[in-house]
Structure 1
């Protein structure tokens, strides 16, 4: 329960960034996801509720954080990447419910190298963070997201609306949550390390909440969720 509470704190902040509902509107969503995901990766981004509060405060107080994280990440806009992939659910739902003018190819949707995130993962992201196991986890999550989005689309186009809905509400849902979680985790990691670097360059004291963030990251085994 503690891990779910702390993850929900991060999602409160993240959803505010991308204009999504508040924690109260997401409680049942997280409860369902926690039960369905037997591997548990989508419920354990952070371990300390104080750390989550401190990070939220950091983001609220420093308007330059997102720009600094984007620069450190090699140009990726994390919030935009999350928003774009969130929008896929609405597009797929519309295709299932009724015919639309949008013409999509399942083969194209399945490709994970066409969107901005996919190109970043294979380009600047790989060059800058290729040794970070978290990047591999994000790459895998992104590939699975596009594969399942294509599965939903293909089922809908073949007239199998119930099958499409079933995939959309189970495997696709979990893949979407995992992808957004990994994006948020990498964003926080890059942004926090960048802020720590600025403090060290200018010989200013490192704030307590940043020391807490760095301490948490240093205790995480490589490649863990």
Structure 2
């Protein structure tokens, strides 16, 4: 796995998810896709053989937990915006950004330890 590429994919995924905010055509399927941590490229890698190289590192489990929470927050954020709850959406957005930064931090730790 190219971790730098995975960070770029994560950032692209965020752009895609954020583009749904305020979109009147967000479907239940879109929302389900956003909340499923095992459907994106990183989630598939975390749940597959690819992550075995890092299985003894505590950061791998932290990354998995952070990644799952990130996807749940993404779904909650889109739901809050779609529901018109601007104050909740703003609070969730702060958590969403923090969780994203945390996730990238864990990826960078794995990247450093793989060199």
Q: TM-score range by the shorter chain?
A: 0.7 to 0.9
TM-score by length of 1: 0.45
CA distance in 1, matches of 2:7, 2:96: 15
- Number of equivalent positions: 114
Aligned CA distance change for structure 1 residues 173 and 90 (closer, same or farther; 3 Å): same
2:41 to 116, 128, 153: 116
Cα drift, residue 130 of structure 1: 1.6
Residue 125 of structure 1 pairs with residue 50 of structure 2 = yes
Q: Select the residue among 93, 97, 111 that pairs with 1:173.
A: 97
- Shift in Å at residue 118 of structure 1? 0.8
5+ residue gaps, structure 1, are 1-75, 192-225
Structure 1 match to 2:69: 144
Instruction: Compute the RMSD of aligned alpha carbons.
Output: 2.2
Q: Which runs of 5+ in 2 are unaligned?
A: none
| CA offset digits 1:106-135 (Å, max 9, x no partner) | 222111111111111111234332222121
- Report deviation, 1:89: 4.0
Query: 1:56-71 residue pairs with structure 2 within 5 A?
Result: none
Larger Rg: 1
C-alpha change, 1:99 and 1:159, in structure 2 (3 Å) is: same
* Alpha-carbon distance between aligned partners in 2 of 1:90 and 1:120, rounded to the nearest angstrom: 20
